Amino acid sequence: MAENSSSIKKGPILFVMILGAFLATLNQTIMSVATPELMIDFNISAATAQWLTTGYMLVNGVLIPITAYLMQRFTTRELFQASMFIFLTGTIVSALASSFPVLLTGRLIQAAGAGIIMPLLMTVILTLFPPNKRGAAMGMVGFAIIFAPAIGPTLAGYILENYRWETMFYGMIPLVAIVIICGFIYLRNVSERIHAKIDVLSVILSTVGFGAVMYGFSRAGKLGWSSAEVITFLIVGILSLVLFTWRQLKSDSPLLDLRAFKYNMFSLTTVINIAVTMVMYADMMLLPLYLQNSRGFTALESGLLMFPGSLLMGVMMPITGKLFDKYGAKWLSIIGMAITIITTLGFINLTDTTSYTYLVLMSTGRRFGMAMLLMPITTAGLNQLPARLNAHGTAISNTIKQVAGAVGTSLLVTIMTSRTTTHMQELMTSGGTEGATQAEMVTAASINGINDAYLVIVGIGVIGLLLSFFIKRADQPAVEESTSTSAVKLKVVKEV
pLDDT tens for the chain, residues 1 to 496: 455 545 567 778 888 888 888 888 888 777 767 777 888 888 887 767 877 877 777 787 677 778 778 877 888 888 899 999 999 999 999 999 888 899 999 999 998 888 888 788 888 887 777 777 777 777 777 777 777 766 777 777 788 878 888 888 998 999 999 999 998 888 877 766 666 677 888 888 888 887 788 777 767 756 767 888 889 999 999 999 999 999 988 887 788 888 889 899 999 999 999 998 888 876 677 888 888 888 888 777 877 887 888 788 878 888 888 888 888 889 999 999 999 999 999 898 888 889 999 999 999 999 899 888 888 888 888 888 887 788 788 888 877 887 787 678 778 878 888 888 888 888 787 765 566 677 778 888 889 999 999 999 999 999 999 999 999 876 655 544 443 333 334 333 333 3
Distance CA 434, CA 437 (A): 9
| Helix axis angle, 51-73 to 200-223, nearest 10° | 170
pTM of the entire structure?
0.74
Spatial CA neighbour of 27 closest among 92, 98, 100: 92
- Helix segments in 253-355, DSSP class H: 264-288, 299-327, 330-344
CB atoms within 10 A of CB 434: 5
Q: Could you tell me the residue ranges of all domains in the chain?
A: 5-198+255-468, 199-254
Q: Write down the CATH number for the domain with range 5-198+255-468.
A: 1.20.1250.20
Whether residue 265 contacts residue 471, with contact meaning beta carbons closer than 8 Å, is answered with yes
From residue 99, how far is each of 54, 95, 105, 157 by CA, in Å? 18, 11, 10, 21
Whether residue 114 contacts residue 24, with contact meaning beta carbons closer than 8 Å, is answered with yes
